[in-house]
A = this chain, B = another copy of it.
Amino acid sequence: MNPPKPSLELLRGLTDENVLRALMAHDRLTRAEIATRTGISKPTVSESVQRLEEAGLVADTGERTTGRGRVGSYYALSPRLGTALVASITPHGVVAEAVDALGRTHGRVRTDLGADAGQEAAGRALAAAAEELKGRVGGPLRLAVVSAADPVDRATGRLVHLPDAPFLVGALDPPSVLADAVTGPVLVDNDVNWAARAEYEHGCAQGVDDFVYLHLGEGLGCAVVSDGVVRRGHRGLVGEIAHLCTAGPDGQAMAFTEVFAALGLRRPASTAVDVPKLLEVLEGRDAGADRVRAALARAVGGVLSAAVSLADPETVVVGGTWGAHPRMITAVEEHFRRTPRPVPLGAAVLTLPELTGARARAVDEFRSLVVRSARPAAHG
């Protein structure tokens, strides 16, 4: 609402931020290089570097320039800044990494979980992975970004069990599980949203500010990217499409998840999609397989009509264990092309996309944490 109050302190903070951002983009720079990169004069940069060195944010690497001219000192972000934790939790296991402010990965821990490991095991694995990484990188974990294969409450970061949706990871509260290992905030979101971010930054939706990412796997979900940001909605449940009203096998209206029940494609005693069986059908050659493929295409088409109406995407990206299957893409596209408002359709291209997206967010968040820590007096 109100513009910031002008002050010389604000100006100095801006100089420090420029210097820090330069050192986040290039791992080591001399003061003269920082000056040319930022466009700030050499004396001002020198002052700022001195301030930041005293504050412990920047350190002389000990390396020196070689070549003609005076020997220069290379500076870099202090290794004592610590790292950020990135973790992905799926029913199959936990993968965790530590990343620094330059976006470099400093370690990776992987824990496989048995089929019915339960949420306690997942929580323990996450906490253990964090401790392991903390020890390995030898510095504090300043924040964490967690991906979970379930809906996440936006306000608390806890996993949410919605009616008639599979609860793959189970009740888990990452912020409290990680409270001991991580000194700062713990950001949690579901894997589909992180995957969408990854496709936006490095994948097939690069630079597309408005798109929808449809995830079709054991669970059914999607992500909505609007104006370049993954939108989460009030509770963080954007994209939980299990109950979206769509067309069933015989043309009757039903919830998306019910379509799989009607087609006999649910896992026994569960609301999760029976992926092996579904893939078998996708490959099938008989008339029954044709009928199921058509029914799936029609059901997905109903979901897409909703996505087009409510998100107006430039493209739709389809991912997930069976969603990205070529025959599925073809079937959906063929159906979708004949609707009143078709949109280009593409298959997701990244592997482990949720980790990529979470990592990108962790780096962003860690960087602004570091920049903020350079201005202790800023209260706005």
Task: Mark A residues whose CB is within 8 Å of B.
Answer: 2-8, 10-12, 14-15, 17-18, 21, 38-40, 162-164, 208-211, 222, 224, 226-227, 229, 231-248, 251-255, 301-302, 305-314, 339-341
Contacts and interface: CB of A to CB of B under 8 A. Distances in A.
A232 B293 CA distance: 33
A15 B2 CA distance: 12
A307 B305 contact: no
A234 B3 contact: no
As for how many copies of this chain the complex holds, the number is 2
A303 to B, nearest CB: 8
B6 A40 contact: yes
Contacts of A252: 251-253
A366 to B, nearest CB: 16
A310 B312 contact: no
Contacts of A38: 5
A340 B245 contact: no
A315 to B, nearest CB: 9
A158 B7 CA distance: 44
B210 A233 contact: yes
Q: Which one of A12, A245, A308 has the highest number of Cβ atoms from chain B below 10 Å of its Cβ?
A: A245
9 contacts: A6-B12, A227-B231, A235-B312, A238-B309, A243-B339, A243-B341, A244-B310, A246-B253, A306-B306
A245 B246 contact: yes
B18 A243 contact: no
Contact of A162 (B5, B12, B311, B341): B341
Given A243-B308, A244-B305, 11 more contacts: A3-B14, A5-B39, A163-B341, A164-B340, A210-B234, A234-B313, A238-B310, A243-B339, A245-B301, A253-B302, A255-B340
Contacts of A247: 245, 253
